[in-house]
Chain A
Amino acid sequence: MTVSDLVKGDKAIITNFNVNEIPLKLIEMGCIEGNFVELVQETPLKDPLYLNINGTFLAIRKETASQILVEKL
């Protein structure tokens, strides 16, 4: 599953992603394999997504979120 499949309150561990599909800034903000991710807040269309990645609160678009593979906790 990917980050875009999470629902509000779900916590997961980032397992894999294609580096070329992810903005470097997101990686720098803590989106790397092994770090945790939590879906904090949903919008009606689930886009963008409000996340907590490794302690940083941020928002990304669904398009990017669906590139990040996770394992739900």
Chain B
Amino acid sequence: MNELLKVALIGNPNTGKTSLFNSLTGLNQKVGNYPGITVDKKTGKCKLDANTTAKIIDLPGTYSLNASSEDENIAVNVLTNWTNTYYPDVVVVVADVENLKRNLLIFTQVKDLGLPTILAINMEDLISAKGITINIAELEAELHTKIVLVSSKKGTGIQQLKSTLLNYKSLSTQQCAIGSTSILSTKELNEKQQKHKDTVRRYQFINALLTQHYTVKKTRSEGFRAKLDAIVTHKVMGYIIFFSILFAIFQALFTWSEYPMDMIDNAFAFLSEWINNTLPEGAFTRLLSEGIIPGIGGIVIFIPQIAFLFLFLSVLEESGYMSRVVFLMDKVMRKFGLSGKSVVPLISGTACAIPAIMAARNIENWKERLITILVTPFTTCSARLPVYAIIISLVIPKGNTFLGLNNHALVLMALYLLGFLTAIVAAYILNKVLKLKSKSYFVIEMPNYKLPLLRNVFYTVLDKTKAFVFGAGKIILAVSILLWVLASYGPGDSFANAEEIVSSSHTNLDAETLDAKITAYKLENSYIGTFGKFIEPTIKPLGYDWKIGIALLTSFAAREVFVGTLATIYSVGAEDEATLKEKMKKEINKDTLQPVFNFPTGISLLLFYAYAMQCMSTVAIVKKETNGWKWPLVQMFGMTIFAYLVALVTYQILH
């Protein structure tokens, strides 16, 4: 008989709660969403003995159960609502041995709920190093609990925790008897004052308790922290270090991810071709090889960049350095209506705006958070890269190499800078325009410096990458299928009779060229082609023809679709960039008899892509994060109209 034990892990941020979760569950974990909200839900399974499996839920890291944030609401709901699927049989409160005082606050709150509760004191390996003395037996008696010393870093104490979990029925459910009002009955008018009173009472209890049973000697580690802080948060050195790290990250991001990205690109091109040659010809095969496979490829190709970015970010986060950056940048960012905490979204935005916008959740001040969400899509995300790459190579002469950089690299770098600059300027303007009143709350813990745990970094990278692939992937895939259908079928006779019309007007062509002509003709008369022609007048002043127009439209869903669409339009079977580039180069505008992709059109396109909001997934996530359609629509129209105007002015001047 296999028994399933439900265990909830709860504790402050930076206590190693997630490390412990990783130690217990290993790869048997999954990350999902709580219905309707965007807090990550991590659950996993752990075998306790031959007959018992524990289903573990890793609740969001919180400082209390005061239910004053979304994270805390989740925790309170799971721990108090017995109809909740995750209502636990036993709770493990994870505490950091170095800051037991603060960690015990949430412990006493959990204990007062009357659930069997275990106190897992983490980082026990530091006890002797930090000169800590702790009287476990006395603490257990006073807190009516079992204490397990663990080290998620060294993996000690895990077995003991498992056996304590197995014996959960013997755990006391007695409250801490602090004599405070229950956290559930504080729904009156002066709620905050009550919570303050409750917190004060709890701290008085904890302070008295720890004075007797817990001492910390000031040690060298304190000195190490102070020394490192003095350099890292120094008024000059601090900024130099931060920008050097940032530069190194970008450098690595592009050089490292180039090879896997090329490999993925080739693999998918090969797969498409293989399917085309192997499966029997028909609509399904074409949907597979021209719609679905390139669609999936378009998502998968960004995995290396996103994975590397999250690798760097999670190392910065785990080491404790990110908090210092937030501290350092707060005053500067505030001038632009942002918060020091906006740094993380703005950096993440260079991989993908979706996780970046989710990272803005840490910003307490609503106005600062909103501005961060609104300007993050200006940063150059990886989806813009393929678009930039092909246009730059078409319209910018490569020129001489200077300091290892040629004109192409310089233009690309300029576009990245332009993205950041626009984000900052837009934030400044929004800060002046938006009339939102909210308190300038800003609290950030400055955790101890520590060497990042490889395993934690690995799981973070895995989670985030998976979330991107499946989240954004669904939408990109749906759009690619829709696009394929709209481009493969058309209204009226001219589409249905494409073969006859083209072959009768071109009699002396070889089969291959004729096929290409037919494909191009079909596309022109397909649903999407008809629509492209319809909108051509509005984009002509920007220097684009109807084909670019279609690519603009389809790439509303996701920017990188631009290249794929042009590849289809210029009747190139596989996504072979060289061939596509050749075709694009040869494309002649019917009216001006000039190449379509000339310098003015190219620059106009680059700027359009730098500014336009062309990402359905971002729109969706902004809607979710701002609880409504107002801000995503403001953002979408604002950015796209701005992009149109900039592209228009640029083309008209350069033309």
Partner of B66, one of A20, A24, A57: A24
Across the interface, do B442 and A58 meet the contact criterion of CB distance under 8 Å?
no
Q: B331: CB under 8 A from chain A?
A: yes
Per-residue CB contact flags for chain A residues 12-25 toward chain B (1 = under 8 Å, else 0) read 00000001110111
Cβ-defined contact, A25 with B63, below 8 A: yes
Q: Which residues of B contact A63 (CB under 8 A)?
A: 440
CA gap between A29 and B199 in the complex, in Å:
10
Contact among A30, A43, A61, A64 for B203, CB-based, below 8 A: A30
With A43-B235, A61-B442 already in contact, the answer to whether A28 and B99 are too (CB < 8 A) is no
| B89-103 at interface with A (beta carbon < 8 Å) | 99, 101-102
- Name the CB-closest residue of B to A57: B446
Contacts known (A29-B445, A41-B230); A50 close to B327, Cβ less than 8 A: yes
Q: Is the interface of A mostly helix, strand, loop or mixed?
A: mixed
* B102 vs chain A, min Cβ distance (A): 5
Set of chain B residues within 8 Å of A54, measured between Cβ atoms: 101-102, 203
Do A29 and B203 have beta carbons less than 8 Å apart?
no
List of B residues within 8 angstroms of A50 by Cβ? 229, 233, 327, 446
Q: Least Cβ distance of B443 to chain A in Å?
A: 5
Given contacts A19-B193, A33-B200, A63-B440, contact A41 B229 (CB under 8 A): yes
Chain A residues with CB under 8 Å of B200's CB are 32-33
CB-CB under 8 A for A30 and B102, given A50-B233, A57-B446, A61-B440: yes
Q: Are B440 and A64 closer than 8 Å at their CB atoms?
A: yes
Cross-chain contact A25 with B443 (CB below 8 angstroms): yes
Give the size category of A's interface with B.
Answer: 20 to 34
Q: Are B443 and A23 in contact (CB under 8 A)?
A: yes
Q: List residues of chain B with CB within 8 A of the CB of A32.
A: 196, 199-200, 203
B443 touching A43 by the CB < 8 A rule?
no
Select from chain A the residue with minimum beta-carbon distance to B64: A28
A69 to chain B, nearest CB (A): 15
Q: How far apart are B116's CB and chain A's nearest CB, in angstroms? A: 24
Q: Distance (Å) between the CB of B321 and the closest chain A CB?
A: 14
C-alpha spacing A29/B331, complex, angstroms: 22
B474 interfacial contact with A, CB 8 Å: no
Answer yes or no: A73 CB below 8 A from chain B CBs: no
Report the separation of the CA atoms of residues A20 and B441 in the bound assembly, to the nearest whole angstrom: 12
Does B51 sit at the interface, judged by CB under 8 A?
no
- Check if A59 sits within 8 Å of B444, measured CB to CB: yes
Cβ proximity bits A54-73 to B, threshold 8 Å, 1 near / 0 not: 11111111011000000000
A24 interface neighbour in B68, B226, B326, B330, Cβ under 8 Å: B68
Whether A10 is near chain B, meaning CB under 8 Å from some CB there, is: no
Contact B102 A20 (CB under 8 A): no
B192 CB to nearest chain A CB (Å): 6
CB-based nearest A residue for B199: A27
Give the Cβ gap from B226 to chain A, nearest Cβ, in Å. 7
Cα(A44)–Cα(B236), bound, Å = 10
Is A47 in contact with chain B by the CB < 8 A criterion? yes
C-alpha spacing A57/B481, complex, angstroms:
52
With a cutoff of 8 Å between Cβ atoms, the chain A residues found around residue B445 in the complex are 29, 56-58
Taking a contact as CB atoms closer than 8 A, the residue among B199, B226, B327, B448 that contacts A48 in the complex is B327
Q: Mark out the residues of chain B between 359 and 379 whose CB falls within 8 Å of any chain A CB in the assembled complex.
A: 364
Please state if B440 and A43 are interface contacts (CB–CB under 8 Å). no
Known A-B contacts A23-B364, A33-B200, A48-B340; A43 and B446 likewise in contact (beta carbons under 8 Å): no
Residues in B neighbouring A26, C-beta threshold 8 A: 443
Name the contact of B327 in the complex, choosing from A29, A30, A59 (C-beta under 8 A).
A59
Tell me the smallest distance from the CB of B652 to a CB of chain A, in Å: 44
Q: Is the CB of A28 within 8 A of B340?
A: no
Q: Is B457 an interface residue (CB 8 A)?
A: no
A48 touches B192 (CB 8 A): no
In this assembly, does B624 line the interface, its C-beta being within 8 Å of a C-beta of chain A?
no
Q: Are A19 and B331 in contact (CB under 8 A)?
A: no
Is the beta-carbon distance between A24 and B192 smaller than 8 angstroms?
yes
Decide yes or no whether B178 CB sits under 8 A from chain A: no
Interface of chain B residues 194 through 211 with chain A (CB within 8 A): 195-196, 199-200, 203
B12 to chain A, nearest CB (A): 9
Residue of B nearest to A53 (CB): B102
Say if the beta carbon of B447 comes within 8 Å of chain A: yes
Q: Is the CB of A48 within 8 A of B203?
A: no
B102 adjacent to A55 (CB under 8 Å): yes
In the complex, the answer to whether B226 meets A20 with C-beta atoms within 8 Å is: no
Say whether B105 faces chain A, with CB atoms less than 8 Å apart.
yes
Q: Smallest CB-CB separation from A52: which chain B residue?
A: B446
Q: Does B328 contact A (CB under 8 A)?
A: yes
- Counting chain A CB atoms within 10 Å of each CB, the highest count among B230, B441, B447 belongs to B441
B331 contacts A43, CB within 8 Å? yes
Asked whether, in the complex, the Cβ of A55 is within 8 Å of the Cβ of B99, the reply is: yes
- In the complex the two chains form, what is the Cα distance from A59 to B339 in whole Å? 13
Q: Which residues from chain A contact B63 at a C-beta distance below 8 Å? A: 25, 28-29
Whether the pair B193, A58 counts as a contact (CB closer than 8 A) is no
Cβ-defined contact, A24 with B102, below 8 A: no
CA distance A35 to B204 in the complex (A): 10
Question: In the complex, are the beta carbons of B203 and A35 less than 8 A apart?
Answer: yes
Complex partner residue of B101 from A23, A44, A45, A55, CB under 8 angstroms? A55
How many Å lie between the Cα of A25 and that of B547 in the bound state? 54
Which residues of chain A come closer than 8 Å to B226, judged between CB atoms?
40
- Asked whether A20 and B330 contact (CB < 8 A) given A61-B442, A64-B441, the answer is no
Chain A contacts for B328, CB-based, 8 A: 43
With A28-B105, A43-B331 as contacts: A59 and B203 at CB distance below 8 Å: no
Complex contact B443–A56 (CB within 8 A): no
**What is the bound-complex CA distance between A2 and B164, given in angstroms?**
47
A25 CA to B330 CA in the complex, in Å?
18
Residues from chain B with Cβ under 8 Å of A21 in the complex: 439
> Whole-angstrom distance between the alpha carbons of A33 and B440 in the complex?
22
A64 / chain B contacts, CB cutoff of 8 Å: 440-443
Distance of A32 Cα from B195 Cα, bound (Å): 12
Instruction: Kindly provide the distance from the CB of B351 to the nearest chain A CB, expressed in whole angstroms.
Output: 27
Q: Which residues of A contact B229 (CB under 8 A)?
A: 40-41, 50
29 examples of A-B residue contacts, CB within 8 angstroms: A24-B64, A24-B195, A24-B196, A25-B443, A27-B199, A28-B63, A28-B199, A29-B443, A30-B102, A32-B199, A32-B203, A40-B229, A44-B235, A48-B327, A50-B233, A50-B446, A54-B203, A55-B101, A56-B102, A57-B446, A57-B447, A58-B443, A58-B444, A58-B445, A59-B326, A59-B327, A59-B443, A60-B443, A61-B440
Counting from the closest, the 5 A-B pairs by CB-CB distance are A57-B446, A28-B63, A23-B441, A28-B64, A59-B327
A29-B445, A54-B101 given; 6 more Cβ-contact pairs under 8 Å? A21-B439, A32-B200, A41-B233, A48-B330, A55-B99, A59-B326
